Every structure is written in structure tokens, then in C-alpha cells.
Structure 1
Amino acid sequence: MTDPVPSPVPRPPAATYRLQLTPAFGFADAAALTGYLTELGVSHLYLSPILQAVPSSLHGYDVTDHSRVREEFGGARGLRELAAAGLPMITDIVPNHMTVPVPESDNRRLWELLRDGPGTAAARWFDVDWDAGPVAMPVLGDGADTGTEVVADGDALRYHDHRFPLRPGTTDLADQHYRLVPWRQGPGYRRFFDVSSLIGLRVEDPEIFDATHEVILTLIAEGVLTGLRVDHPDGLADPRGYLARLRERAQVWTVAEKILIDGERLPSDWACDGTTGYDALNMITRLFVDPAGQQSLVDTFVKHTGVTQDYDVIVYESKKQVLAQFFGVELDRLSRGEPGLREAMAELLAAMPVYRAYIVPGEEPPPESVQVIRSAAELAALRADPNAVRLAADLVLHGPPETVVRFQQACGPVMAKGVEDTALYRWYPLACLNEVGGEPDRFSVTAEEFHAFCAEMPPYGMTTLSTHDTKRSEDVRARLAVLSELPGEWAEAVAEWSARVSFDPRLDYLAWQNLMAAWPIDVERFGDYLFKAAREAKTSISWIAPDPAYEAGVRDFATRAIDECGPSVAAFTERIDRFARVNSLGQKAVQIMMPGVPDVYQGTETTDFSLVDPDNRRPVDYAYRRSLLAGPGADSWDAAKLLVTRTALALRSRLAPAASYVPLTVTGEAGDHVIAFCRGEHAVTVATRHPAGLSRRGGFTGEILALPPGRWRCLLTGEQHTGRIPLAHLLARYPVALLERE
């Protein structure tokens, strides 16, 4: 990928550590960890959103007030005390949306908008479709008589816990700047994906940018914050313009949560230092998956689920379903009531292979963007009126600014909801590949492909293995990757478990993968995961279409699976863990030492077997990790992973930020079981791949790694090496090696 705008900071972070702040874990708790994190080897603390959100929020993306640091965390004073604890800080910011809280009066700007209408200053804050009349607020419950439950209360209207302002001088619901509609109906404003409780902001307006960023920019000017992670830039009207304005005002290291589909490049004119690392995560995962197991795993998946082996079919069906269920308002705004154009726009969105095509109104579309739109139009024309599709494509490329921007803003939500939150829960022959930005039908990459990817990486972008948004943690994926090497044994195990406990074929196979890979896991956590997975898949239930009987069946399945198959699942997990440990240590060493700024998600310096949120935001046992850091030896998986993490972070801190990346040659019949590279002239990383297959071959025998000239010391074992070294010797104690030139 082409380098983004070079970093203006003399030296970006060497490594970051992401903390998920909650009302129970605030700034003071984070400050108590700075000594441990410094000893671990990170250079910067990376915080989840810090501005005032819904008081009970466990994630912070539901901002209610940009003028305050979140009180539940300790407020501005607590944040400054955390900064004084010694670690420079980066924070996650949310420019795309605010929350529609309950009661709605908790968002002052939203309250003003609803009370005073389109003529008020607050109306400039939010992306509202006033052309459609009073803004639709989807809050009414099921039932024909729900409107009768709306009651006047002083200068407001109440509906259960909701509270809405009365327009001055009125008393009737019909006279307001808003209208209450059923909760399943689309709102009269741009929202975040399909979440009606998050309302889109218009940060393209300089005054709104200033108001929503004042606190953050002040904290940067004071040196309290030294870097930014920008959430969901694809949702903005003008991501390029937003990032340029942000960089002009904040000369700090900045990464964007931009999801790149395989082969896609970050726009070179975006004023940021790279992405938040999902592209790196997916490449690393594929590196440890054996392509030989692909067809067997697909066959097993199809046998148990009855789902087609054609992933593209599932993606298309999923996109069309979410377009029909969730994005009617967006399609209406794009087509303005023309049925033929509406269908064409829907098919064009369903055919889009990426989250955004980067077309700016008034500018000639880049050739890459034109190619994306035209290719999508060719596919869409097979499913809708070709003339209407041609018109839709022309409007998207050269039409009115409103259409160009709206289409760009719709692409991301359709990809996210159609693929991330639907298709990936329907098509999962090997679930470790089902990650944000991942393509689960692309099973693996060769060492050469990985080297080529690293050679093009921007030097200051973030890399990661686990985040608050990953579908499963890195060690869950490390276990699942082993299945690609043992597809026959896996098929036998699943057949045995399925014969004993079954529920829904479209869910069961996903359940067995995650039960094994997250083992040990209690019934509540496992049941919660399956409940979310079933709702995301939308094949039997969904978030908007519950079914109490089915949901009870999910809980019953979770209980029976653990009670009746738990011992067998545990035995299978123990069988693969000697190989999963190799993957776990290997991917950690590779991630920290490859180009980019490595991030360690909270707790993943040791093993972490978490599933999708909120499971991956559970409290971390730092007392245990402190004891491991202080203790001798590395016999357990936890201790070994902590050793590799700490050692790699220390080595990385001694490298230049943009140190060169040079692949190293491994000779011998088992050479494809290794990934090896040199950073700069001082650091070599070696990691074992496909360990089960290597074990069947009898391990390394005559394979040789040619080290660069000089004397090298393995930081994990203390041994010294020069020249050509047998891998059987280099990797005798650990499946990875971290070497530094003496």
C-alpha cells in the first residue's frame, strides 16, 4: 500500500497498550498500571473514548457532551493525574456521531434540535433529512395503541423512559418538529450503521468541528494527549477534509479506523499515519493457517450447516437482507422516490466490494474509484435494470453532491452490517478468518506474500491482533488455525458432539468452533455469545425480530453442550494446544516486530480466550500478570507469551521507527514452516508456522537460516549465533526467536 501523509511527529509511539475504560475502571485505575506497562515495554497508553457518554456506558462511543471529560472516569482532573503518572497518552475519538440517549434530554444539542427545529443553531450539528418533514424518532413499541402512552409533562412529552421537548407555545404531539414512529422504522437522520440511538454529526461544518473537538484539541495543546485514533472515518461526509483539518489543528500521531479489504490501499491523500491495523491482523492470521485444510473444512461446514460453499452468494444475500431491513431511509434519500433508481442503488450498494470509493463532489473521481464503481455496476446490472444501474453509477460518480456523499456514507454501513455482522455469522468453515475486513474464503498466505505485504506497509500505521471490536481474540484464533492442519480429526470430533447435542444446524457448527477455541468457558458466557451470534446471523432471530422459544433453545443448547460434551471438548482442546501455543507466540512476535506501531490490547500479553464484545471487555486480572512479569521462567503458555511480548517490545523500542524490512532465507524441506525477517540491521524475528504439519514431519531436521553478517544473541535464550544456523537448534526451546546484533 502507498504511504499516507508522513508523520509530523519526530518519533511516533514505539508500542501502545489499549485500555477499555468503564465506570468501574477509570483514570485512577489506569494510573495504577503505568509502572507495570512501562516494565512490559509499551511507550504509550491508548485509551478508549474519554468524553462524556451515557453514564452506564461500557464502551464510550455513545457521546452525550463533547465539552466534558467523562465524569465516571474521574473527569478532567483525573485525566491530568493519569497523564502525570508517566506514560504518554493516545485516545479514541468519535467524530461521526453522538448518542440519542434515554431520556433524550441528556443530549443538550439534540434537545435543542427537537425543540426548536431546523432554524436553530443545533440543527447544524446533526445530519437530518428535513425534506422528509418532522424528524422521525423511532421509539414506539409494538402495538397499535402505543401512541396513547405519550403524555404531557410540563414542557415535555414522556413516553415510558423517553422524554421529548414541546415546541414553545404548543401542547400537542402533532405540532412538533419531530414525530414518534415505531422502533423498527428508520429514523429521519443519518445514523451509525443501523443503530438508531446514534445520530450522525456534521463535522464537515467548521463550527461543529470546533465545538466537538475543543476539549480534545485543548488536551493536545497542553500535552495531556499525544495521539489520536479516529473512529469510523468512512461515515463522514468528507474523510479527507476532516483528517486534513484535524492534522492542521493537532500535530500528533493519528491513525484512522479504516477497514481495508484485501488488496485495497489507504488513500494516499489522507492526513493520517495509517490504519488501526485490521489489514495487518488478517494477514498475520492467514500466515498461520494451512491452505491444505481448506477444502476439507469447507466440506465439513457444508455438511453440518447445509449452507452453500460459495461465500459470494452469502455476502450478496446478506447485503440485500440488511438493505431491505435497515437501510430503506438511506435508499429513499439516494433515489428520491424513483422506484427503478431505488432498486438500482440497492443493487449497486450490494455489489460494492469496499467500504468507500473515495469520490469527492466537484473533483474528477480517481481512476481506482471509477474502476470500483464500474465493476460494481456491471455486477448490479445482472440483477436490476441495466439502464437504471448505469444512471445510478453515473450519479454516484458525477451527480449532485448530495447523492455522491450519501452513497459514500451508505457503503460502509452496508458492508459492516451485511458482511461483518451478517455474512461472517453465516459462512464460517474456519472462524479465525471471520474478522473485520477479513475474507473467510481466502484461507492463507505464503511467506512470500506476507513479505510483500510488509514491504509496502506504512511505517507509522498501527498493527494489532486483538481489539475491542474483534470477533474473537488472538488466542482463540490461534487455536482455530490449528484446525486447518487437523481437518479430519476436527470433523470426527464435531460429528461426535453433534450426535449428542444439536439445535440449529446454521448455528451449531459455529458454536462448536467457539466452544473449543474459548475453552474453558462457562455457560453464561457461551450462551451470551451464541445469543448474539444468532441475532447477527439473522436466519432465525435478529435484533429486531426476537423469538422467545428460539432464544430459550439457544440457552438450552449452551448448557447441554458444556454439560454433555465438555470433557470431550476439553480433551480435544488439550490435544491442539501444543500447536496453538506455537501459533500464539509466533503471531505475537511477528505482529510486534513487523512494520508499523504495535498495539497490545488489554490483557493479551498473556493468553486471552475472549469472544466478541462485550466478552472481550471483561475486567483483566493485572495482579496475575504482574506476578508473572516478576517471576522467573516461562514454562506455562501464559508465561511464555508474556516473555515473548516483553522481549519483542524491548527489542522494538531500540529500532528506528521506519527500520527496513528484509526477508530472510530458510533452506531445507520444511522451510515453509518458518517466517523470518530482519528489521534494520539489528533485529531478526523467526516464527514457526503450521506446527502440526511440522510435527508430522518429525520437526526441523536439516533446515538452515542464513543470518545477516555479525554476531547475534537470542534474547529469549541468551544463546549466541553467527552465520548459517540450524533451525532445530535455534528453535529448540521456543517456537520463536528474537535476535539482536551484538
Structure 2
Amino acid sequence: MSKPTSTYRVQLTPGFGFAQVAEIAPYLRELGVSHVYLSPILQAAPGSLHGYDVIDHSSIRAEFGGAAGLRELAEQLAAHDLAIVMDIVPNHMNTENAQFRSVLKDGTASPYASWFDIEWVGGKVALPVLGDGAGPKVDGDVLRYYEHEYPHPGHYRLVPFTDGPGYRRFFDVSSLIGLRVEDPAVLFATHEVIFWLLDEGLVEGLRVDHPDGLADPRGYLESLRQRSGGVWTVVEKILIGEERLPDDWACDGTTGYEVLNRITRLFVDPAGADPLIGQFVRRTGQSADYRAVVARSKREVIELFFTGEVERLARAAGADPAEVAELLAAMPVYRAYVTPGEPPPPASVELIEEIATPKTRELAQTILYGPAEAVTRFQQTTGPVMAKGVEDTALYRWYPLAALNEVGGEPDVFGIEVKEFHEFCAGMRPHTMTTLSTHDTKRSEDVRARLSVLSEMPQEWARAVEGWSAALSFDPHLDYLAWQNLLGAWPITPERFADYLLKAAREAKTRTSWVKPDAAYEKGLREFAVQATQLPVGEFAAEIEPYAMANSLGAKLVQLMMPGVPDVYQGNEMTDFSLVDPDNRRPVDFGRRPANVWDATKLLLTSQALRLRRRLPPAAPYLPLFATGEAEEHAIAFARGCIGAQELGGRERGTSQRAPKRARPSNAAVAVATRLPVRLARRGGWAATTLMLPPGSWHDLLTGSRYTGRIPLAHLMCRNPVALLERT
């Protein structure tokens, strides 16, 4: 099996299944991708629009076309030199499945009792479903409670829906029950179809959902690699800051959030940090200290959602639940990578000991060196607390520049130096996935491209917000986020904008929430959304359009040409101004044609870069290039392919000697993108800034122009804010 040169993510739905994917195969091949990356294909809950709620691991989803439809799709894709990468969900499944129903009926006597991570209390499992109103009713051998049905009699107990369930779940979603794939029998039963697809050659790659939820992700990935024959595998692992994927995880890399966040920062001006944070604080009354907001948010979600998990972990560790909650809230990453029975990695020891207080020091030692259950459960609980406390709370409370508020992002870290970005690329795994947009991103790449411009125009932005706020205001905790997203997604319908604001407000949990919705507040919010979309926001959007386009194309070029396997999320080969799910999972019009210059240039850039990646070696070397001149900070440039330092004739920064001539290698590319375009324009453009190309003749795949030697950037970038060169 060959590793992908690029992937194209398709969201399957009951209305867009295997047959519809087959219809766009010619388009995808023409676009230049090598693999079609499908959302989960196993049988999910009826009508599911995402597929992460599997109910039957033994069958391929009938609504998509079943096994026969998948086989036909694979054949049609192969006819266009395309193959399939599939998204798999080992951590959990929907509770409405036959195996769990057997467990509810027969308890520990069920043959499926070992499938699920259940805490049996008095031989029963707690199901959090009870609310106000009428109680459950027995109807023959069924116990009915509103839309719920349970076997009767059974070995379970119903508890209030606000309580934690008697089983490990996915984050705070009680309808998704945790699986014990650390048990070889459970692993085989839940992966039998996946292994069959790999054996048949119908699938050539795997994307593993949420490995942090597993008891032993390292062991799981090793089992997967051995059984799959080493198929290309990436994991949805969120890495924070300088955190790196463990070397002993048997996979090719991550799904790319750490890449996404660095690329975003590459186009953010650090000079905008103070004025934007200051404006945010003045308008919202929120703290200027993001880390304090995170700590408070994590403590709140622990109390709101995770008391059951905290108590279970406390029992396993022999600790006070308050101490457990404090240590969980202090964890700055999703996992500490400690395996029971093994010496913990030095970095993990340093991390845990650093966050421990005198009150939690003994507990810290327990989760490093203590009983297996305590060590494992801490690892499985930190991820949900991070996800709900940071992704789904703090990022909706602290947003001076919402472009930075992404999964795994650090919104108080404005900008990244070019040299630092090059150093990051040099350390990347060659076949890791890179991305700019996913089904889980808070905003699409083009929304972020627009918002990044604000870091260069904080005063102009402040005046625009002042004018809109004078005309319309609703909630100081939400308005400033609303203005940013209204601009980023412009033009947007009142319905889409209202749906986004409703989700944002409920996630923030300051005035309304998913658990306790405030009907009056939410009615006012929808009215605000309608009126906001009638304001002249389009005027400001038009003013920043050239700079937003430069950011968009620059980010796209960097992502497509840097090390790794680039993924294109459906529809993002052209402009896409989507907000958080479900907005970013709307149906895509694959018959759409470019509507403007931004669309046309992005499509051209994407297709040329993806085709070029198919001509380059999959792990082509990466070589930083540096512009020279007064505007050099505004360029990010690098070469890919058979180019050594000696080929640059000693022109790399910091060298002076000239290397001997050598034969020109083939299969080489150079990517050049514009950074911080507002400041560049205000300083009068590139002036005399130049870039020394590696030896050879270079063809610009976007314009058809040819270059050699030292090139003025004013000439290279005169038609586009990016250049994609191939050596001829």
C-alpha cells in the first residue's frame, strides 16, 4: 500500500453516500488528491449526520450503500487512481446498540459485559436519564421513559440526567459509552470489518478518532499496526504548545491541529496583541489573563459534568475528590503518557510534579506510580476535562482574536517567527497529516484568514466595532465574539448566524447553557442575530478583502507544500466561510464554479500544489529559504525535494563560501508566501527585497513565468501574493 500524497475529507451523510462520492471521483482526481478520506462508515445511529455514534461494528452503514456500495466506490475510485482513507472510532459507541442492551438486561452475566468500561454498583449500572415530570412506565418486557426504551426487568438503575453515568463516556456525552479495546476480544469484535477492508485492499489508510480516551493508546496502535500490515495511520491527538507525539506510538503522525495553529500564527501580527486584548477586556469585562480563565473554566466543568468521573478516580487512587478535581484542572495537556507498570517518562514526571501543590503532591505520585486503575483513569479523564473546559468553554469566553481560538490553540500566543516555524517543520514526521480546516474546527481557514487581518488593523477594527455596537448591542459577554464571527463569515444568513451565537452562548455558560437554557435570553439572542446581519459589515469586509485573500492563499500554500500529507476539507479548495459544527458540515456543492478572483486563485493554487505533491517524493526534504532586504520579514519561503544546502552556492543565511557546482537534481519545488500584508502595503511594498532561488530554471505554476537566480520579490509576487515554483 502506498502512503497518500494528499487526502480530501468527505463528510458522508444519509443524503451523500458512496454513490455520490463516486460521482465526484473525476473532479477529485483532476484536483490532484491521491486519497479520499471518508468520515466513519460503520453502521451508526439512524439519521446520524457525523457517524461517530456507531451502533453496529459488524456492518457498513446501509444508508451509504452498505458493503456492496463501498466495494463499488473503491473500484470507481481506483479507476481514477484514487484510494480510500477511513475514519475509525475505537473509543466509544452509541448506547443504543444490541450489545449494551444485553448488558442492561443480564448485567455481568451478559457475554458483552467486558465490552464496556462500566462501574458496577450493587450489580447495576447507573443510567442518567431522569428529569422532571412523569416517571418511567413498564410496558411488557420494556421500560419506557420518553424516547428511551430499556429491557425490563434489568440490572440497571435510572438516575437524574445531571448525574454522571455508571460507565466511561465520550467527554460529557452520556449517549456515547466507552469501549474496552484493550481487551483483544473486544478489539477484534469492533474491528473485524475494518481489518477485512484492509485485507481486501479496499482501504489504504486510517484516521483514529480520540486515542486519548483509550486505556492504552500505545498498545492499541501497536496492535493496529501489526494487524493492518503497517497501513498509513494518523491519530486525532491534540498537542499543546511544545508537546510532541510520543515516539513509541505506532503511527505516522497526527491529524494536524498543531500544524493548523502554527500556520495561523504565522499570519498573525504579534504587535496586535496588546491593543486587541485591551479592547476585548474593555468590551467584555473579562480578565486579561487567559490562563486564569482556563483554570476557572476547567474547575466549573469538572463540577458541572465530571463529578462521577472524579469520584470514580478518587476511589481508585484512594484520594479526596477535591484533590482529584484540583489536579485535573491544573493539567495543561490532554494526556501525561504514563503507562501502568512502567517507569513514567521523565517529561511526564516533570509535568505532573510541576502542577502538583502541597495538597495534591501525594495524589500526583499515585497517578505516576500507583495502582493501574488510578494511573489509567487519570489519563482517560484529563482529555475530557481539557476538551470541555478549554475547547468548549474558555475559548468562548476569552477571544481577543478569535482566529487563534482553535482546537489545541493558545489564543494568548500571538504570532510566530519565521525561523521558529522552519524549526518546527524540520522536526515533523514526514507522513503526518497537515490541515487547515476539519469537521471539528471552530472556524474555517478563510474565516481565520479574515480575522488574522485584524491583528494588523486593531485601531480600524476598534472603530468599526464602536459603530456597530452603537447601533446594536445585546450581551457584553457575547457581542465582541459576535462581531468577529459576523465579519469572518460574511455574508451569512440570519439563521446561520443565530444558530452559531446560540451554540457559542451555551458553550460559554455565562448566561445560558445546554444544561440550563434560558429561553428569554435565547429569544433575544436570535433577534440580535437578525438585526446584526442587516448592519453594513460588508463594507469593512470589502476593505480588508485583499489582505484576507493574501492570508488565505499564503496559509494554503504553506500547508499544501510543507512536510506531511496535506488534507483538504470538503469545499475548501475554494473559499469557505463556515463556523463551528454543524455549520461546517453543511452539504457541499461540488458543481460550484469560482465566483471571484479569490475563489479562482485558491482553486488554481490547490490543484497545482496537489498535483505537484504527486510528482515529489512523499518525504521530500525541506529546506528553509530566506529573503534579503528591508521587507524580508514579510516572506515565508522554503524548498522541497532534491535540494541540498550546497546547491544554494553558500547563499543560506549565515554562510559565505561558495560550494562546487553539481548536477541539477529533478523533482524540486519552491513555495513563497506573503506574511502580514497590511504592514507590507503600508511600508510601500517589497522595495528591493530579494530571494535567492536554488540553482536551475524555475517555472511558476500559477502564472507561467520563469525565473532563475536572485529574484526581486516585487517581481515574483506582482500578480499573486504567493508563488509556487517547480524546477524544470
Task: Indicate yes or no: 2:390 matched with 1:419.
Answer: yes
Task: Indicate yes or no: 2:3 matched with 1:35.
Answer: no
State the partner residue of 1:111.
101
Q: Aligned partner of 2:512: which letter?
A: I
The 5-angstrom pairing of residues 487-526 of structure 1 reads 487-526=458-497
State the partner residue of 2:541.
573
For residues 159 and 511 of structure 1, what CA distance do their matches in structure 2 show?
Answer: 38
Residue 259 of structure 2 aligns to a residue in which SS?
helix
Task: Indicate yes or no: 2:322 matched with 1:351.
Answer: no
TM-score of the aligned structures, taking structure 1 as reference length? 0.93
1:333 aligns with one of 294, 303, 312: 312
Using the TM superposition, give the Cα deviation of residue 119 of structure 1 relative to its aligned residue in structure 2, in angstroms.
2.4
Residue 658 of structure 1 aligns to a residue in which SS?
coil
Q: Deviations over 1:569-607 (max 9, x none)?
A: 000000011100001111101000000000000000000
1:67 aligns with one of 58, 63, 83: 58
2:585 aligns with one of 602, 605, 617: 617
The 5-angstrom pairing of residues 277-676 of structure 1 reads 277-336=256-315, 341-377=320-356, 381=357, 386=358, 388-563=359-534, 565=535, 567=536, 569-625=537-593, 628=594, 636-676=597-637
The 5-angstrom pairing of residues 234-253 of structure 1 reads 234-251=212-229, 252-253=231-232
Q: Deviations over 1:5-39 (max 9, x none)?
A: xxxx5x41000000000001000000001000000
Residue 477 of structure 2 aligns to a residue in which SS?
helix
State the partner residue of 2:652.
none
Q: Aligned partner of 2:67: which letter?
A: A
1:678 aligns with one of 628, 634, 639: 639
Using the TM superposition, give the Cα deviation of residue 556 of structure 1 relative to its aligned residue in structure 2, in angstroms.
1.1
Residue 331 of structure 1 aligns to a residue in which SS?
helix
State the partner residue of 2:184.
206
State the partner residue of 2:691.
705
For residues 60 and 140 of structure 1, what CA distance do their matches in structure 2 show?
Answer: 26
1:77 aligns with one of 52, 68, 75: 68
1:126 aligns with one of 111, 116, 119: 116
Q: Deviations over 1:351-374 (max 9, x none)?
A: 111100010000000101111111
For residues 255 and 284 of structure 2, what CA distance do their matches in structure 1 show?
Answer: 34
Q: Aligned partner of 2:365: which letter?
A: D
For residues 369 and 123 of structure 2, what CA distance do their matches in structure 1 show?
Answer: 28
Instruction: Return 5+ residue gaps in structure 2 as ranges.
Output: 643-667
2:298, 2:386 within 8 Å by CA — same for their partners in 1? Answer: yes
Using the TM superposition, give the Cα deviation of residue 142 of structure 1 relative to its aligned residue in structure 2, in angstroms.
2.2
Residue 488 of structure 1 aligns to a residue in which SS?
helix
Using the TM superposition, give the Cα deviation of residue 635 of structure 1 relative to its aligned residue in structure 2, in angstroms.
6.1
For residues 524 and 451 of structure 2, what CA distance do their matches in structure 1 show?
Answer: 26
1:132, 1:188 within 8 Å by CA — same for their partners in 2? Answer: no
Residue 365 of structure 2 aligns to a residue in which SS?
helix
For residues 422 and 665 of structure 1, what CA distance do their matches in structure 2 show?
Answer: 40
Using the TM superposition, give the Cα deviation of residue 153 of structure 1 relative to its aligned residue in structure 2, in angstroms.
1.6
State the partner residue of 2:648.
none
Residue 288 of structure 2 aligns to a residue in which SS?
coil
Q: Aligned partner of 1:376: which letter?
A: I
TM-score of the aligned structures, taking structure 2 as reference length? 0.95
2:207 aligns with one of 223, 226, 229: 229
Q: Deviations over 1:58-107 (max 9, x none)?
A: 00000000001001111111111110112200110000001123xxxxx1
The 5-angstrom pairing of residues 267-282 of structure 1 reads 267-282=246-261
State the partner residue of 1:171.
none
Using the TM superposition, give the Cα deviation of residue 336 of structure 1 relative to its aligned residue in structure 2, in angstroms.
1.9
Q: Deviations over 1:594-622 (max 9, x none)?
A: 00000000000000000000000001111
For residues 53 and 447 of structure 2, what CA distance do their matches in structure 1 show?
Answer: 28
2:264, 2:403 within 8 Å by CA — same for their partners in 1? Answer: yes
Cα RMSD between the aligned structures? 1.2
Q: Deviations over 1:380-408 (max 9, x none)?
A: x2xxxx2x411110110011111000000
Q: Aligned partner of 2:92: which letter?
A: H
Instruction: Return 5+ residue gaps in structure 1 as ranges.
Output: 1-8, 102-106, 168-175, 629-633
Q: Aligned partner of 1:153: which letter?
A: D
Q: Which moved more, 1:321-330 or 1:124-133?
A: 124-133
Q: Aligned partner of 2:338: which letter?
A: I
Q: Deviations over 1:256-310 (max 9, x none)?
A: 0000001001000000000000010000000000111110000110111000100
1:341, 1:389 within 8 Å by CA — same for their partners in 2? Answer: no
2:238, 2:258 within 8 Å by CA — same for their partners in 1? Answer: yes
Residue 725 of structure 1 aligns to a residue in which SS?
strand
Q: Which moved more, 1:36-45 or 1:125-134?
A: 125-134
Residue 695 of structure 2 aligns to a residue in which SS?
strand
State the partner residue of 2:710.
724
Residue 416 of structure 2 aligns to a residue in which SS?
coil
The 5-angstrom pairing of residues 153-168 of structure 1 reads 153-167=139-153
For residues 328 and 393 of structure 1, what CA distance do their matches in structure 2 show?
Answer: 19
Change (3 A) 1:593 1:337: closer
2:87, 2:207 within 8 Å by CA — same for their partners in 1? Answer: yes
Change (3 A) 1:339 1:227: closer
Q: Aligned partner of 1:643: which letter?
A: L
Q: Which moved more, 1:635-644 or 1:508-517?
A: 635-644
Question: Aligned residues, how many?
Answer: 698
Residue 427 of structure 1 aligns to a residue in which SS?
coil
1:358, 1:369 within 8 Å by CA — same for their partners in 2? Answer: yes
State the partner residue of 1:172.
none
State the partner residue of 1:689.
675
State the partner residue of 1:46.
37
Using the TM superposition, give the Cα deviation of residue 131 of structure 1 relative to its aligned residue in structure 2, in angstroms.
3.9
Using the TM superposition, give the Cα deviation of residue 337 of structure 1 relative to its aligned residue in structure 2, in angstroms.
9.4
Q: Deviations over 1:153-203 (max 9, x none)?
A: 221111122110023xxxxxxxx3111111111111000001111000000
State the partner residue of 1:135.
125
For residues 626 and 319 of structure 2, what CA distance do their matches in structure 1 show?
Answer: 58
Provide runs of 4+ in structure 1 moved above 6 Å. Answer: 337-340
For residues 707 and 374 of structure 1, what CA distance do their matches in structure 2 show?
Answer: 49
State the partner residue of 1:170.
none
For residues 568 and 172 of structure 2, what CA distance do their matches in structure 1 show?
Answer: 30
Using the TM superposition, give the Cα deviation of residue 455 of structure 1 relative to its aligned residue in structure 2, in angstroms.
0.3
Task: Indicate yes or no: 2:723 matched with 1:737.
Answer: yes
1:670, 1:703 within 8 Å by CA — same for their partners in 2? Answer: yes
For residues 538 and 333 of structure 2, what CA distance do their matches in structure 1 show?
Answer: 39
State the partner residue of 1:92.
87
State the partner residue of 2:160.
182
Q: Which moved more, 1:293-302 or 1:178-187?
A: 178-187
2:317, 2:370 within 8 Å by CA — same for their partners in 1? Answer: no
Q: Aligned partner of 1:333: which letter?
A: R
For residues 405 and 123 of structure 2, what CA distance do their matches in structure 1 show?
Answer: 41
For residues 171 and 577 of structure 2, what CA distance do their matches in structure 1 show?
Answer: 28
2:319, 2:363 within 8 Å by CA — same for their partners in 1? Answer: no
Identity of aligned residues (%): 65
Residue 240 of structure 1 aligns to a residue in which SS?
helix
1:519, 1:570 within 8 Å by CA — same for their partners in 2? Answer: yes
For residues 289 and 302 of structure 2, what CA distance do their matches in structure 1 show?
Answer: 21
Q: Deviations over 1:310-347 (max 9, x none)?
A: 00110000000000000101111111299962111111
Q: Aligned partner of 1:447: which letter?
A: V
